[in-house]
């Protein structure tokens, strides 16, 4: 929620400045509106000492991949800095759905019926509505979370019709050893045919390519915070 008081910002930490510059460049090159791309600063493994300068520079959207780690770090930061937006980008277990719905403003890892059921129950009982992304395993990697591309349409329909979930978009993580572009293109195609407007794709190594293929949310960690 936009605050009425102007935010006093410190100079951008160098990693964030470089990422902002590259996002602006990619948007310009590919005819994308900068305002249509949300930068999620992925702060997993980093503590408040590393996160505070990034908040001070004006960044408001952050991502974490583990519920427990986020619970330990973020409530104090959120209390001290109203207007922060927190995304869960990592896998979710059903028994963590309650905590996830309570803490996060967006969840990128909806990928199976048990999670849909748990999220639907918590959304009803808590009255909180995190933005939901269905994760698609575009590379069909056995070790990776996400629904298979050929099952995505039916899964998205079930999310909506069976569980009453409002799905905002798709998320994908291309295989590390392959060109990302075909995976981003596949996710964009599945989103388009399902009427989904948001695409969470692109990390430190490939966010400019993701912007080219329509990313609305890029999840960038090490390029901002340094190596983990
Ligand atoms: C860690 C992580 C990122 C950020 O990765 P970097 O390469 O550090 O930018 C993005 N998405 C997910 C799902 C992650 O777990």
Give the global pTM. Answer: 0.95
CA of 79 to the centre of ligand 1 (A): 25
Scanning the structure block, which residue is given the tokens 């006093």? 8
Please report the beta strands in 85-188, taking only residues with DSSP state E, as ranges in sequence order.
Answer: 85-88, 106-110, 131-135, 167-171
Distance 6 CA to ligand 1 centre (A): 30
Instruction: Please indicate whether residue 43, judged by its CB atom, sits closer than 6 Å to ligand 1.
Output: no
Mean pLDDT of the chain: 95
Q: Is the CB of 222 under 6 A from ligand 1?
A: yes
The protein residue with its alpha carbon nearest to ligand 1, atom 10, reads 219
Ligand 1 within 6 A of CB of 132:
no
Burial (CB < 10 A; 0-12, 13-18, 19+), residue 57, is: middle
- The rounded Å distance from CA 69 to ligand 1 centre is 15
- Model confidence at 144: pLDDT above 50: yes
**Quick check: CB of 215 below 6 Å from ligand 1?**
no
Q: Which two tokens stand for residue 18?
A: 């470089």
The SS3 assignment for 123 reads helix
Rg (CA), the chain: 17
Tens of pLDDT, residue by residue over 97-109, are 999 999 999 999 9
Q: Which residue has the higher pLDDT, 10 or 140?
A: 140
HSE-CB for 81 with a 13 A CA cutoff = 25
- Name which residue leads in pLDDT, 10 or 103: 103
For the segment 117-126, what is each residue's pLDDT rounded down to a tens digit?
Answer: 999 999 999 9
For 97-221, where are the E strands, in sequence order? Answer: 106-110, 131-135, 167-171, 198-200, 217-220
* 87 pLDDT above the threshold of 50: yes
- Cα separation, 34 vs 29, whole angstroms: 11
Pocket probe for ligand 1: among 69, 89, 133, 217, the residue whose CB has the most ligand atoms within 8 Å is 89
Residue 55, ligand 1, Cβ within 6 A: no
Is residue 220 in contact with ligand 1, taking CB distance under 6 Å? Answer: yes
As a whole number, mean pLDDT of residues 146-152 equals 98
Confidence of residue 13 (pLDDT cuts 50, 70, 90): confident
Residue 6's pLDDT is what?
Answer: 54
- Give the pLDDT score at 4: 52
Min mean pLDDT across 12-16, 118-122, 159-163, 164-168 is at: 12-16
Query: If pLDDT is split at 50, 70 and 90, which confidence band does 14 have?
Result: confident
- Is there an atom of ligand 1 within 6 Å of 42 CB? yes
With b for 16 or more beta-carbon neighbours within 10 A and e for fewer, the 110-136 pattern comes to: bbbeebbebbbebbeeeeeebbbbbbb
């Amino acid at each position: 929620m936009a605050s009425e008081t102007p935010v006093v910002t410190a100079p951008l930490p160098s990693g964030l400045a470089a990422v902002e510059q590259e996002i602006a460049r990619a948007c310009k090159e590919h005819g994308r509106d900068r305002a249509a791309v949300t930068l999620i600063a992925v702060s997993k493994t980093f503590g408040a000492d590393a996160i505070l300068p990034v908040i001070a520079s004006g960044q408001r959207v952050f991502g974490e991949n583990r519920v427990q780690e986020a619970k330990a770090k973020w409530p104090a930061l959120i209390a001290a800095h109203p207007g922060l937006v927190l995304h869960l980008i990592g896998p979710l277990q059903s028994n963590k759905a309650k905590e996830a719905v309570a803490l996060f403003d967006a969840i990128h890892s909806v990928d199976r019926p048990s999670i849909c059921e748990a999220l639907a129950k918590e959304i009803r009982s808590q009255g909180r509505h995190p933005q939901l992304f269905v994760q698609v395993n575009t590379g069909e990697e056995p070790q990776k979370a996400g629904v298979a591309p050929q099952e995505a349409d039916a899964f998205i329909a079930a999310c909506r019709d069976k569980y009453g979930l409002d799905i905002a978009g798709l998320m994908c993580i291309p295989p590390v050893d392959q060109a990302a572009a075909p995976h981003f293109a596949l996710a964009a195609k599945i989103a388009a045919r399902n009427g989904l407007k948001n695409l969470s794709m692109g990390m430190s190594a490939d966010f400019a390519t993701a912007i080219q293929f329509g990313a609305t949310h890029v999840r960038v960690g090490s390029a901002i915070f340094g190596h983990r």
